[in-house]
Structure 1
Amino acid sequence: MKYNKLFVIVIILLGNTPVFAQDSFSYRRKVNGVQQKAWHTITLPPDIFIHCDRDLKDLRLYSIAGNDTTIVPYLLKKRSTEIKEQEAELTAINKSKKGDVLYMTFELPKDLKVNFISLAFQETNYFAFATIEGSNNKKEWFMLRENQRIFSLDNAVDSYEYSKVNFPITDYRYLRVSVRSDKQVTFERAVFRHQQITEGKYTPVPSRWSITDSKKTKQTVIDISLQHYQPLGNLRIKTDNSNNYYRYCEIAVLIDSVKTEKGWVKNYGTVHEGYLTSYTPNEFSLDGEQTSHLRLIINNLDNEPLKITGIDVDGPAVELVAELEPGDTYLFYGNRALSAPYYELRHFEEKIPTASATATLGEEQSIAAPQTKISALFENKFWLWGIMIVVIGLLGFFTLRMMKGAGNQ
């Protein structure tokens, strides 16, 4: 009987200790606009990211009704442009030349659809125009793309090639590529692709920028300050130059700042290397990099600095998709120690309606301190450890007594 009493005491003691700890967050926002139980899309505002984990692992949706708190599973969606490719390298079945135009004919495999070609030539330093035509009988040809500029630049400092041509998706049996160049070029290979593009959702990012031209370093440095720390999509540079140009450039993002005796020193990390040219749109993908400050460095060498007339930055929409119902639902965040949640919802994404209602987030609320419902006796962890040691000791003592008694019998 006394052993049974002991176990009752142990259960009572353990029942008064917490078996879980509520995750502590620094911020929350109320979810608004839920009229009925349905799937909803919540777009995260740009001022939220500065207080979130970089990978957004600490986002949690909770429905609160009185003393009951329910986890609301969600899907995290970053609406950047997605490109899926199917590639085929084809051999020209016919090549010919007429004047300064090189003609090449390709036969596409059955059921292959393409909308993109990448050309390669043995020569460098050429400027050319490519035209793409399609046919099913090699007699009647239909225009797909006319006079698309392609070129190659190669010098002692840099080399750059742009020989890609996109055109409307087609399944013609034959494609004819004609290249009119300023110099003789020798065809090497052609890679055809079917690009399936899912356009992203982007919004402009408010920014301010300043330019510094250095004769000493022969560089132009453009500092771009953004209104918020947030994920970025694309950077577009607008110039006003009558002459052709081709300049190597680097794009860097602000990583952190260190205070020194001489003031604050900003540390940058390069996220993209490329070229500003007068032949192609000067648009660069930032692949969701998060920052509040960009720096564009242009190598001018011995050329005059470019005349920059405009800089545009945009950011992809970041959304939460969840099944919500009327009531008090909050988005909690601001705990970088948390791991990303794992919801079964990810396995049933295809069953979620593509068209969903829209919910919005209210103003940010700072949570002063985590609220935990724990008896005052056990708020001190030393009390808890002490009781656990006593309980384990008692269990061990009486277990040995029972074993000894059984042995004597």
Structure 2
Amino acid sequence: MYKQFLNILFLLSVSTIVSQNYRGIISDINQNGFHKILLSPEVRSASLSNTNFFRILDSKKNEVPYILLNGESTIESLYTPFTFESVNNTKDSVSSIIIENKNKLKLDHFTFKIANTKVKKTFSISGSNDKKEWYGLVSNQLFYGLNEAEKTTVEQTFSFPLNDYAFLKFEFNNKKALPLQILNVGFFENHFSKAVPQVEITDFKIKKSAHKKNKTTQLTVTFNIPQHIESIVFDIDNDIFMRQAKILVNKTRITKKRIENYQDTVISFDLHSGTHNNFKIPYVFEKEIIIEIENNDNPPLNIKQIKFFQKPLYVVCDFKSSETYEAIIDTTLQKPIYDIVNFKTSFNTDLPQAAITNFSKINTGNKSNSPKKPFWQTNVFMWLCILLAIVVISYFALGLLKDLKK
């Protein structure tokens, strides 16, 4: 048993030490600045669906920092400034801010940029279409906390009932404190950016088999290389149908000192003639999957086409047009830590697009393309330490067992 345990650990260490290396050239860099690169299914498969193994290198083999952006819809806040006039009525101790809504937009808040202060204020808001007759919106509301520690100004948002008045008036009570210095007034509006179309996986074969005894149809889908699948679409040429289906993957496990093969269910769903038959799939990274459809006493479905998709995944990086770059995959690398990830929200998808070309597997013995690490940071060192600890512990344990027998 002890020898078998050591053999298993040795095999695990060997599999960890042996790396998979790929390299591609980054092309279409026609200007200086940030570009986005779509990671193709081929690149994501080579990385074993783990972007920790991905690096961008310049001509001197130095790492170039990057961030990852997906192609899902995101919320963007757009700021629209408004013109306003400020009037201080010293007699009534009131400051009035009148904001013109020229385009009659439907508004429910304004954001004021105010010079830092520690005063408390009450305010009222009213609306008008002619600046003569005013209608109440908010009355005698208290606000404070107008102090930003590291800035000389602070942004304060005032909410009110949705309206489209041509003019909005804010009245601040100055009886207990001096007037505020209001520098700017504007409106933040949230917009959903358009989602980028999904990336289709096209390199696969389908083998169809009918099981009359179980009254099922099985479609065995074999990809050329393991793929990360996130959604599936069926094109079925039947008028009326409703069938239960599921996606299976082949797995192995060890039970009672023997290896057992079994099929694991990834997801179950219903194929229905009244829907688009488009399904999201939990995490799957496989070379082969099995789609099993229950027919009951019905004839098998006439499936014209099945499509598989990934959500688009982009790398955003700052390039120079005079420099040459390459993308590498090295499965011995760990997750990089770059400063640029702290500024992810500053980027959008409207960037010039570069591409990874001539992507292919390279000699695993050639380490010149990957950043060099100290020996004590490598997987080899880690496994040597683990094996050494096991040997030492086993030596003392065996000694204790001998003493107990005596």
TM-score with structure 2 setting the length: 0.50
